[in-house]
Amino acid sequence: MALECLVTMGPRSVSTRSETHVLADAAAHGDTVAFDRLVAEYHERVLNVAYRMVSRREDAEDICQEVFVKAFTALPRLRDRSQFGSWLLRITANCARDALRRRRRRKDDLDLDEIGPVPSDDDHARETERDDASRVVQRLLMGLPERHRIVLVLRDIEGLSYEEMAQALSCTVSSVKNRLHRARKLFRERLDPYVKADEV
């Protein structure tokens, strides 16, 4: 397995804050077209954060819908609409946590072997490698505690800044750094056997 084949794609860009602010303002006043543009802008990010948290595409899509419905309902009460993105991710994290709690209550916990690959457009051989690697990564992520998983997802997958993460998680920047340090250490320790096998 080649973990290196997962090439860094860099932080995903979203629209500028001022643009988001304008759209969020319009959406708060009931403009569904503006909100639809916001959905188009943030749908992928919300879906991926939710997927990394719950590891099931169907659950992630349900969470996604719940997040946007909640956002549209609560948007008039959002004071600083330039922080719409962080606020949306906060809702996503909360919804994902609720979904995991419901799953535990139903005793429907995810079997780690159940984690499937994420389809991609590469050629077959490379896709197989990527599938293996992404499965390992997702399995390791699911093995982490939720509070550590979310910081890893937001920072190392979604490429958020510490400030954005602090807003999204409703905590201080130093707390985010602390949690991220622990999460990365834990992830590194669990990744270690795979890296040895990979002879990196």
d(CA 25, CA 108): 40
Q: Of 70 and 97, which CB lies nearer to another protein in the complex structure? A: 70
d(CA 13, CA 42): 10
d(CA 179, CA 156): 13
Q: Of 104 and 185, which CB lies nearer to another protein in the complex structure? A: 185
For residue 4, the minimal CB distance to another protein (Å) is 6
Q: Of 16 and 32, which CB lies nearer to another protein in the complex structure? A: 32
- Whether the Cβ atoms of residue 109 and residue 66 lie closer than 8 Å to each other: no
For residue 38, the minimal CB distance to another protein (Å) is 10
The whole-angstrom distance between residue 155's C-alpha and the CA centroid of its chain comes to 9
Residue 143: Cβ within 10 Å count: 13
Task: Output DSSP code: residue 85.
Answer: H
Give the dihedral of Cα atoms 110, 60, 144, 195; nearest 10 deg.
Answer: 90
Q: Of 77 and 196, which CB lies nearer to another protein in the complex structure? A: 196
For residue 59, the minimal CB distance to another protein (Å) is 12
Q: Of 7 and 125, which CB lies nearer to another protein in the complex structure? A: 7
Q: Which residues in this chain contact another protein in the complex, by CB under 8 A?
A: 3-10, 30, 32, 35-36, 39-40, 43-44, 47-48, 51-52, 57, 60-61, 64-65, 68-69, 72-73, 117-120, 130, 133-134, 136-138, 152, 156-157, 159, 180-181, 184-185, 187-188, 191-192, 195-196, 198, 200
